[in-house]
A and B are shown apart, each in its own frame.
Chain A
């Protein structure tokens, strides 16, 4: 039984989430019978399964709440905010009981009793008692103690028992297990052939049974049919003579065998197993790359054939195993309904949460780490962004504020937006505050976008007072760090008094990417394919035509490029023909000049480890087919760093002190990147 309990715990947690959601929606749409039904079903299942898995306290508690919702369902009780709030409290208590049963923490008994008392008041039940389950037919007892008695039984099932799935012969067999049974079939009711309905049962049986079992045990055999059958059980004095007995036919033959196994719709698997699968697939992808390369070298068509097949299969396997880890964001999004509801009550603000794109799927690891940043963003919006209803009314806004959560795919990224229609960010106030806190120089020239991103800096807070909810100045930089840890980025958009929109741009997955393998000197790099647009050639003539500027003419459009060998200060001779990979970054189109573009490469991302955690432009490393290591570039960061360094040189960013600090900062970062690239060169076989 314990093995099933773990499954039940998990399921119960989901049911509770479902219950909570239904309750919160019910709070808004009080007359929706569908929502009441959902809440009732969730409670009902928790109770039923709970009792089955031996969690009597949980089942007992839930029963009272279920009773209340049964009354709501039957129209005997109206949905009020009192009821939904009470039910939410009760759902928390159920959760506590559940955790207690799972061996985590102890549920507060007094609280439970208080909730039950209030539920009792609502349902006007005196003292609710736990449900008395109807008697379950006990397994037939064979030859118990006691005197063997003789019973005379007459059984005439209703004509339609066969249609309802009853096999009367099985009942006779069951009786036989109770003791010695003599059966006489009564064929008198069988009509003439043309009047026979083949599905009807026309037989009746007269039986004598010698058994120590009592009348109840015999009745129990007929428990499913006694309502619509003719059944007489009486004690007999002597066994009936056996004359006129018709032989009892053997049980009807079984139905035809079932063809083909039918798989279950879904199964639960421990997340660790999935991680292991993805790891193994990762290793396989690496080995496959080696195979492909070896095959290409061997020039043996037979081997090439196999290598191609393996490559295709590995690709499919990779996509499949990655998709297993993809989960819709719905569960994460829906959890916030409760947060918004509770915070709204605490802060005296009226807020509704709308959700869009909840079916968008993301890697489970990304989703898991997304919860905290989203909580921070929502809390921030609720606390700082959204005004009290009075203020909103005075400003001519709808008193009910809105927080909108949305998710959508954009290439290999998912954009998650949290927007509110609150007071928005005041660029001037943010700026003033940043100057006050020494984050920027008072003379700094910053775009609005740059000013907004200052609130992501550590220690920044515009809240005048520290509230219970937020305002300790630890919110936004936590968000930034979490999102950056996921290789994502943040963008803020705001209009004063119209609200704030925070956009998180996150990669679909963290484990494997499609990349383009490039060579600079003897070092290989991988650029994520999702960012790469095209490759063009860069000849000496082109370079001369640009008068030394790092600009390439791509079909008439001038695209700035970064020569990787220069960026990483690599000691390599520049070839006659270079190639430029045009990549799309948040700063627009940029080119990376490399010696050669080798081709696409399924890249299993390996972390660089703690030693290199400050290296920004390299998001990881991968092992190539021949065993060498290639660095995976982060085009966004690379371009960002180059722009930052360039703009500092041209002096458009903060003056004197601020600049020196930043320069030092970036310089050290650049140095680290360069050192790293050099080290990698040494690693070559």
Chain B
């Protein structure tokens, strides 16, 4: 059974790129357009969440907090996508319980490397 990855980003092109790259690598990818949407999609179990930080409705940090507070998602790795050059945002995400991060811009190879790192 392929592992399922939820990609959360308000940018359709980023989602598309993430989805394409990971699908090619054999993962099953579902998409969410923002944190709120992600919360809905998390009704079914996923093995990894990749989320952007800046999003309308519920932002990445909020989503990470929600996932960590939700017993059904216990221990699910969360990768945050960040373009922030400031450390602050990243630290905030880590404090909220993010597993790791990927700095945009990234290449499909880099994305895969990080996903394999946390998913195996």
Contact = CB atoms under 8 A, between A and B. Distances in A.
B18 to A, nearest CB: 10
A47 B13 CA distance: 12
Nearest to A9: B13
A44 B117 contact: no
Interface stretch (A166-174, A374-382, A589-597, A653-661): A166-174
A259 B33 contact: no
| Main SS at interface, chain A | loop
Nearest to A70: B86
Interface string A368-393: 00000000000000000000000000
Interface in B92-106: 94, 97-106
Nearest to B15: A264
Interface in B79-120: 81, 83, 85, 90, 94, 97-106, 109-110, 112-114, 117-120
Interface string B9-30: 0111110110010000000101
Contacts of B65: none
B118 A224 contact: yes
Given A137-B113, A173-B120, A257-B1, A164 B97 contact: yes
Contacts of A230: none
Contacts of B56: 38, 41
Contact of B46 (A8, A132, A170, A258): A258
B17 A224 contact: no
A539 to B, nearest CB: 63
A255 B45 contact: yes
A77 B32 CA distance: 33
Nearest to A170: B120
A231 to B, nearest CB: 15
Given A254-B3, A260-B44, A48 B104 contact: yes
A140 B113 contact: yes
Contacts of B44: 258-260, 262
B99 A224 contact: yes
A497 interface: no
Nearest to B59: A41
Contacts of B105: 48, 51-52, 59, 133
Contacts of B119: 170
Contacts of B45: 255-256, 258
A51 B94 contact: no
A4 B20 contact: yes
A359 interface: no
Contact of A133 (B12, B68, B103): B103
A272 interface: no
Contacts of B16: 4, 7
Given A11-B13, A137-B117, A258-B4, A51 B31 contact: no
A200 B94 CA distance: 18
A270 interface: no
Contact of A167 (B11, B12, B13, B120): B120
A592 to B, nearest CB: 50
Interface in A213-261: 221, 223-224, 227, 251, 254-260
B85 A136 contact: no
Contacts of A48: 11, 14, 81, 83, 104-105
Interface string A395-417: 00000000000000000000000
Nearest to B14: A49
B78 A45 contact: no
A258 B28 contact: yes
A52 B20 contact: no
A28 interface: no
Interface string A435-475: 00000000000000000000000000000000000000000
Given A52-B104, A224-B118, A255-B47, A139 B54 contact: no
29 contacts: A4-B16, A4-B20, A11-B13, A41-B10, A41-B54, A45-B54, A48-B81, A48-B83, A49-B11, A53-B13, A53-B17, A136-B106, A136-B110, A136-B114, A139-B110, A139-B113, A163-B75, A164-B97, A165-B76, A165-B78, A165-B97, A165-B118, A221-B117, A223-B100, A224-B99, A224-B117, A255-B45, A256-B45, A264-B30
Interface of B: 1, 3-4, 10-14, 16-17, 20, 28, 30-33, 37, 41, 44-47, 54-56, 68, 74-78, 81, 83, 85, 90, 94, 97-106, 109-110, 112-114, 117-120
Interface of A: 3-4, 7-8, 11, 38, 40-41, 44-45, 47-49, 51-53, 59, 131-140, 162-167, 170, 173-174, 199, 221, 223-224, 227, 251, 254-260, 262, 264-265, 268
Given A41-B10, A139-B113, A164-B98, 17 more contacts: A41-B54, A48-B81, A48-B104, A53-B17, A137-B110, A139-B110, A139-B112, A164-B78, A165-B78, A165-B99, A165-B118, A166-B77, A166-B99, A170-B118, A174-B117, A227-B94, A262-B44
